[in-house]
Amino acid sequence: MFGLPNRAVFVKLNASARNWSLMRSYKINCLNSETSVLGGFVRGWAVNGITRFTTGFPVNISQSGDRSLVGIPRGSIDQPNFIGPLQIQDPRLPGPRRSNQYFSSSAFTSEPLGGFGNANRAFFHGPGLNNWDFGLHKDTALREGMALQFRVEFFNLFNHAQFNNPNGNFASSQFGYVTSARDPRIGQMGLKFLW
């Protein structure tokens, strides 16, 4: 029922970034020789999609307030002290204080006044991505050199929560919490005249 892919399937593995992507496009070849109304309905369909699994972006750890006394109050050179261990959890689950907590702030303490903290700036990643985009389209030939294309596309098809990075400013009351997310499922339809 399904034909061979009309585009190459691309798989990319990157161990350091933990990134996996799969792009696919298939032309559905069933009843191609059918000339009836049914044949006109089933001819010209194609499905495509992009699937992506990846770790999140590095979480930038900082401490505002110029505790190092270097004279840059809004600069991001101050770091808290990391005392560990770093406990990461799913931000959908309830945390010790409330939900949306990605990492526990108890792994950090304030840097000493007049000194620098020992936490690395970005030593762990934020929430990862699990994203499936899907498209379906049908090309209908009207006459030679003219066609009508109907498209249906979904971005984030399964509506997985795609969280942004948690707040990494130790001086913030939101330190360690995820406060925003990427777009939910988006669907669109379109009709295009090709000539």
Divide the 195 residues of the chain into consecutive groups of 10 and give the mean pLDDT of each group.
37 51 80 62 88 90 85 74 89 75 91 88 89 94 90 96 93 92 96 92
Domain regions of the chain by residue span: 2-194
Q: How much is the pLDDT for 166? A: 94
Q: Which residue from 195, 52, 50 is spatially nearest to 133, judged by alpha carbons?
A: 50
31: region left, alpha or beta (phi > 0 left; psi from -120 to 50 alpha): left
Q: How much is the pLDDT for 180? A: 94
Q: What is the pTM of this model?
A: 0.73
Q: How much is the pLDDT for 56? A: 87
**Look-up of token digits 């990862």:** 128
Q: Which residue from 45, 126, 134 is spatially nearest to 88, judged by alpha carbons?
A: 126
